[in-house]
Structure 1
Amino acid sequence: MGRDYFLDKDIIKDKNDNLYVVITNYNPPGYVFAYLKYVYTGEGLWKGYERVFKKYGVKNLIKIKQNFEYEPCYGSTFPVLKISEIKNHFKPEDKIKEIIHKPANKLEETVINMLAEMEVNLPLDKIGVTGSLLAGISHENSDVDLVIYGKKYAEDFVNTFRGFEEDKDWIIETSENYSLPIEVVKTIYSKKTRGKYKGVKYSFLFVDDHPWKYNEKVCIEVNPIKAIGENVSDYRALFYPSISTLYSQGKTFNIVSYEGIYSLALYYSKKIEAFGMLMKCEDELEIVIGDKKIGGYIRPIM
């Protein structure tokens, strides 16, 4: 029996055949936190689908025409899909088994070749395929988006895998999407998670393989803040949202980044500058990166 709960990077099809990407391991009763990515028009490049979420980043996400709900416990607004509107639930770990058993096209053969050349020892049940491949709408120039499950295997992967070719396009696109200087983007870029394999663009994403408890604390917005200090991280920095601890001027902050581009920077960097929204979460302080009002950023300090 497959799992009956939702995890980050799963894909959902609603009753109108629109495709959504799940963004958390925790979900409120009756809803799934997920953003709308593809809408079927019959004319789109992705087997009749058109991509409506064309540029990543929270400021681009909030422009999508879908349902957003304010979650008072988290003090923020999330894109949501009602459970009652779900038609299909696609799971990355099911797709990788299907591809390895019988690849259907050259892109799926590329996935098999990539896995063979990574030189990383990963059990098959800790790997998944998401994106357009999982949704069944990929075309010959689609990217390959792979998922690594579990804290042990996520850390083993980033500390072992060297990456293939550099994806210079990602650096330029990320600079434009997030309004960041090229030199700053280069400090957070790594071939471990974004690159090219024989001309095919790839990404490696990390997901906890267990659901998280919803509503563990109540957060209240305070004000924008910039803080510089010592960054202490573990496997949680690799998942979404990325989490680490910042010690700055005698205070302790939890860094919570809803911008996935900063995950490796939070995982590896010993000192950072963080700009985001300060939240008071009961007896803890959080700096949220990816707040819809101010955006925010992480800058590694060498």
Structure 2
Amino acid sequence: MGRDCFFDRDIIIDKEGNVYTILTNYNPPGYVFAYLKYVYTGKGLWKGYERIFKKYGVHNLIKINQMFSFESCYDASFPIVLLSNISRHLKPEERLQEILKKSANDNIIYTLINFIEEYVRVNNVGVTGSILLDNYHNNSDIDIIIYGRKSALDFIESFDGFEKDYEWIIEANENYDIDFANLLYDNRRRGIYKGMKISVLFADDKPWRYCNDVCKKVGKVRFRAHISGDYEALIYPSIAYVLGNNEYKVSKIISYEGIFSSVLFGERQAEIEGLLMRCEKENVVIVGDRDVRGFIRPL
């Protein structure tokens, strides 16, 4: 899957040695959407890197001290890195190929290789997170990323799931200030395999058009709806469609909080709280705005 563009979950390193994770497949002119994850201090668990973004969620991301850009198309600010300040671009699929060509040298790599060989029957796959950066430690999670619609759906339909990770549920409830994380959990995407925690992530295998629609904020809403999501619900940001009529004439739900992705996949009734956006083509609700955090609760 040779490529020159930036995809979700790629890692970039700036000229000062700071490490960022790419957020989406959007490729704006002159910069990329990416959040600061590590700075090098010579201390800590991650081989001298200190983790800046310690807990996920937009409410934690906006506290990071990095450059943000107001995007008029989306009426919101995003964390960015200038192309002129990027010194290295690390790609998950290239890193995995490097690993597979070598013998397993520790338990983390041995477990990764075993899982890939046993369960991931697709070609478009990579490894991200600390293994991509090569600063993992003995207790690091394994983050696998699968690219493309067919590969993602083939995996979801064929994999029976991991051993349940109860700690994820507890941590998610605390971090997002909710009490229903058990209803959001999908053991096909997160769990324990051979004693180690693994996450399976999904990303599109094509670049996206920047500023495809222009939207303006309207305000906070909460409503119940019948929603349906396919492959677009698995990637980031996650998208599901509203079936039938609703009081706000919303046709689409877009979540910038990855925790709700599994709820958007499939078809169900749900209670949604988020930011109503009036776009040129349709009304949408954003979950994960800096001012309206929102949630998606399955009913």
Q: Shared fold by TM > 0.5?
A: yes
1:269–1:300 contact (8 Å) kept in structure 2: no
The one-letter amino acid of 1:196's match is I
1:216 to 196, 209, 212: 212
Q: CA deviation at 1:110?
A: 1.0
> 1:75: which partner in 2?
75
Q: CA deviation at 1:45?
A: 1.1
After TM superposition, list the pairs within 5 Å mapping 1:235-254 onto structure 2. Answer: 235-247=231-243, 248-249=245-246, 251-254=249-252
User: Partner of 1:226: helix, strand, or coil?
Assistant: strand
1:200 aligns with 2:196: yes
> 1:59: which partner in 2?
59
The one-letter amino acid of 2:194's match is K
Instruction: Encode CA deviations 1:250-293: one digit per residue, 9 max, x unaligned.
Output: 63421000001111110024211111000011131010000110
Between stretches 101-110 and 17-26, larger displacement belongs to: 101-110
> 1:177: which partner in 2?
175
Structure 2 unaligned runs (5+)?
A: none
> 1:13: which partner in 2?
13
After TM superposition, list the pairs within 5 Å mapping 1:38-57 onto structure 2. Answer: 38-57=38-57
After TM superposition, list the pairs within 5 Å mapping 1:126-275 onto structure 2. Answer: 126-181=124-179, 184-247=180-243, 248-249=245-246, 251-275=249-273
The one-letter amino acid of 1:108's match is I
- Alpha-carbon separation, structure 2, partners of 1:203 and 1:219: 32
The one-letter amino acid of 2:68's match is F
The one-letter amino acid of 1:3's match is R
Between stretches 204-213 and 266-275, larger displacement belongs to: 266-275
> 1:299: which partner in 2?
297
Q: CA deviation at 1:153?
A: 1.1
The one-letter amino acid of 1:203's match is S
- Alignment RMSD (CA, Å): 1.3
2:58–2:288 contact (8 Å) kept in structure 1: yes
Q: CA deviation at 1:140?
A: 1.3
User: Partner of 2:158: helix, strand, or coil?
Assistant: coil
1:276–1:290 contact (8 Å) kept in structure 2: yes
Instruction: Encode CA deviations 1:83-116: one digit per residue, 9 max, x unaligned.
Output: 0110100000001111111034321111111123
Q: CA deviation at 1:27?
A: 2.5
User: Partner of 1:108: helix, strand, or coil?
Assistant: helix
2:214–2:280 contact (8 Å) kept in structure 1: yes
The one-letter amino acid of 2:12's match is I
Q: CA deviation at 1:295?
A: 0.3
Q: CA deviation at 1:300?
A: 1.0
2:274–2:293 contact (8 Å) kept in structure 1: yes
- Alpha-carbon separation, structure 2, partners of 1:233 and 1:144: 26
2:5–2:27 contact (8 Å) kept in structure 1: no
- Alpha-carbon separation, structure 1, partners of 2:15 and 2:273: 39
Structure 1 unaligned runs (5+)?
A: none
* TM-score normalized by the length of structure 2: 0.96
Between stretches 37-46 and 98-107, larger displacement belongs to: 98-107
Aligned length: 296
2:250–2:285 contact (8 Å) kept in structure 1: no
* TM-score normalized by the length of structure 1: 0.95
Instruction: Encode CA deviations 1:205-263: one digit per residue, 9 max, x unaligned.
Output: 00000000101111100010112111122210111000111134263421000001111
1:69–1:79 contact (8 Å) kept in structure 2: yes
- Alpha-carbon separation, structure 1, partners of 2:83 and 2:256: 23
After TM superposition, list the pairs within 5 Å mapping 1:97-108 onto structure 2. Answer: 97-102=97-102, 103-108=104-109
- Alpha-carbon separation, structure 1, partners of 2:204 and 2:240: 15
2:256–2:286 contact (8 Å) kept in structure 1: yes
- Alpha-carbon separation, structure 1, partners of 2:115 and 2:178: 31
Between stretches 203-212 and 94-103, larger displacement belongs to: 94-103
User: Partner of 1:89: helix, strand, or coil?
Assistant: strand
